Amino acid sequence: MRLSVQEAPFDLGAESQAFAAGAAGAGAVVTFTGIVRDNGGALSAMEIEHYAGMTEKAIAAIMDEAAGRWALVDALVIHRFGRLAGGEMIMMVATAAPHRADAFAAAEFLMDYLKSRAPFWKKELGPEGAAWVAAKDADEAALLRW
Amino acid sequence: MSVEVLYFAWVRERIGLPRERVQTDAATVADLIAELVAREDRYAMAFADLASLRVALDQELASFDAPLAGVREVAFFPPMTGG
């Protein structure tokens, strides 16, 4: 399992390829990629702040939890911080498992927990100023299904 | 005792600092908040609505009634928006 919290962009194709190639024994690989929405041109940039140290610990704990719940061969989380433009990739999750049901479920679990339990905060910058993205009740509610 | 207190996102912006060293005898997180709020308006503004705040003690999420004994790092921030 690998996690990377980084400012630099990542190469989705290269990461996905390397992850799948390294997942010996897997019969299924699921990847998810989060992209900065440009809100129909109303967003000039997104700034992502994080709590260095806690971020890595929180994501590692979420990945350990996923590994305990599903038969995962491997998992990968890459999450960026800093200033991103609309259309840029914010993060990716990849899971590998013997069968697809585990790979899909673990990827969704990782995403649900990354949303509300990994210490990142997004700020949207647009022509009318800057605003912190508010957490949604639905994001918190999404954790209850696990 | 002395603890490192960190602020993130709009909590950081309201207080105007990313972190500071605080001398305190507070027994719990809630006691520490009360001490900070009594200092200056910017703290009172940042801690006005505890329902919209989260706290981590030594980088683990905690509750406002959690004890501070032995804690080195306290962080205050809004609900997280990762992913």
pLDDT for A4 equals 98
Assess A78–B contact: CB distance below 8 Å, yes or no: no
Q: What angle do CA B41, B45, B47 make, to 5 degrees?
A: 115
Q: Residue A95 in contact with residue A18, Cβ under 8 Å?
A: no
Q: What is the DSSP letter of A143?
A: G
Assess A118–B contact: CB distance below 8 Å, yes or no: yes
Of B61, B77, B80, which to mutate for an interface test with A (greatest number of A Cβ within 10 Å)? B80
Assess B82–A contact: CB distance below 8 Å, yes or no: yes
How many alpha carbons lie under 13 Å from residue A76 in its C-beta half-sphere?
A: 22
* CA–CA gap between residue B54 and residue B62 (Å, rounded): 8
Cβ pair B79:A49 closer than 8 A? no
Q: Would residue B82 count as lying in a domain? A: no
Task: Identify the helix (H) or strand (E) that includes residue A116.
Answer: helix A100-117
Task: Please identify every stretch of chain B with a pLDDT value under 50, giving residue numbers as ranges.
Answer: none
For A33, list phi and psi in degrees, rounded to 5: -130, 130
pLDDT for A41 equals 81
- The model's pLDDT over A45-100, given as tens digits with 9 standing for 90+, comes to 999 999 999 999 999 999 999 999 999 999 999 999 999 999 999 999 999 999 99
* CA–CA gap between residue A77 and residue A71 (Å, rounded): 17
Assess B56–A contact: CB distance below 8 Å, yes or no: yes
Does the structure show a pLDDT above 90 at A39? no
User: What CATH number does the domain containing B34 carry?
Assistant: 3.10.20.30
Does the structure show a pLDDT above 90 at A38? no
Average of per-residue pLDDT values in chain A:
96
What ipTM does the predicted assembly reach? 0.95
Does the structure show a pLDDT above 90 at A128? no
**Residues spanned by the domain of B48:** 2-77
CATH architecture of the region A2-145 = Alpha-Beta Complex (3.90)
